[in-house]
Structure 1
Amino acid sequence: MKVVNYSEFRQNLADNLNSVNDDHEIVVVSRTKGRNIVVMDLDEFNAIQETLHLLGAAANRHRLETALQEMESGGGRKRKLINE
């Protein structure tokens, strides 16, 4: 995670945005008279949103946790993909 002040972020806007996209760097922009903001890659944001959605329902969260426990304890089977 990289923290920069607003002026530095603005002066190096292209470099900062490239760092976010290319290196998946999260940039925190520090503002003196306002609240700080976070700049992150859209794919990263969407992945977080999807995770929150999947874990948001108690039944779904329980199902996912059970499946993870089963895999970690040696359960599950390897299967070949079906090529169409």
Structure 2
Amino acid sequence: MTQTTNRFFDEIGRLMNDAAGAAQGMKREFDTVVRSQAERILRDLDIVKREEFEAVKDMARLAREENEALKARIAALETKLGGTGS
């Protein structure tokens, strides 16, 4: 009886182990499908990537700084020439 009980529990353990492995495989497959679908949807929506957004944001900041410097330079030149400036 002890031998039969141990074999029974061994088989149950093996079955549970196989089921856990199958469940992990299904989870990986599900994650892959969901990720690929999400990437496809985002690609179709033509959403800007974070890196591209940050690059354009930096370009805009630099352009604003250059614009302010040029405004100050023009104002100084107008003052030097005796212009009124706006």
Tell me the TM-score normalized by structure 1. 0.30
Higher relative contact order structure (alpha carbons within 8 Å, sequence separation ≥ 6): 1
**Greater strand share, structure number:** 1
Larger radius of gyration: 2
Tell me the TM-score normalized by structure 2. 0.30
